[in-house]
Amino acid sequence: MNNYQKHKQEINNLKGRPDLLIHICCGVCSVYPLKYLSEYFRITIYFTNSNIYPYEEFLKRLEALQTYLKYLNDPEIKLIIADYDNESYQKKVRHLKDEPEGGKRCYLCYRIRMEETFKYAEKNHYEYCTTVMSISNRKNADWLNEIGEQLEKQYPTVKYLHSDFKKGDGITMNDQMNSKLNLYHQNYCGCIYSQR
């Protein structure tokens, strides 16, 4: 069963409207997943992205997300902004600085941000946790879901919601909505190495 099928099965088996903590990396990646998931969950966004360099870029991506949230005008969706600490992030990934884009450094980056999200979810009693990163054609959805499954075992009070948001016309709907809203669209993934 692929990630998209697992996701659909999990959605179909939901009871009620559980609390979901969702990691969001930027405004443009949030458009379809937020609209879609808000039908099934009470959503809290966790914006934890110390990987983004420089800080001004972090703020641009946050502002794009806030613009979209104003557009959605859904008072049930909450936003939590984690502390920005690019220096600590750099210490964790610097040994992989020469890795190609999409390689081991990116895997570690996914894991760092997803684990921060899981920790927060466990501490604050969220039932589910996921990330929007699978909407991007540049992100490895298999890796994201593998990490999610590992973290679910590590933080057993939190269920991981599998995802591949680009499937089922997700990427098409995301792109159409982004064009309509004219949200800020970055031209690199986020870290100083991808910027170079």
Cα→Cα distances 125→28, 100, 119, 157, Å:
28, 37, 10, 8
Residue 178 is predicted with a pLDDT of 84
* Sequence spans of domains, the chain: 3-178+190-195
Q: What is the CATH number of domain 3-178+190-195?
A: 3.40.50.620
CA–chain centroid gap for 57, Å, is 17
Instruction: Determine the Cα–Cα distance for residues 91 and 87; give it in Å rounded to an integer.
Output: 7
pLDDT averaged over 10-residue windows placed end to end, the chain, 196 residues: 91 95 96 96 98 98 96 97 98 96 96 98 98 94 97 98 92 87 91 89
| DSSP H/E element including 37 | helix 27-37
Residue 168 is predicted with a pLDDT of 85
Which two structure tokens, joined as six digits, stand for 196?
A: 């170079």
Residue 169 is predicted with a pLDDT of 85
CB 114 within 8 A of CB 154: no
Residue 67 is predicted with a pLDDT of 95
Residue 196 is predicted with a pLDDT of 80
What is the value of pTM for the model shown?
0.96
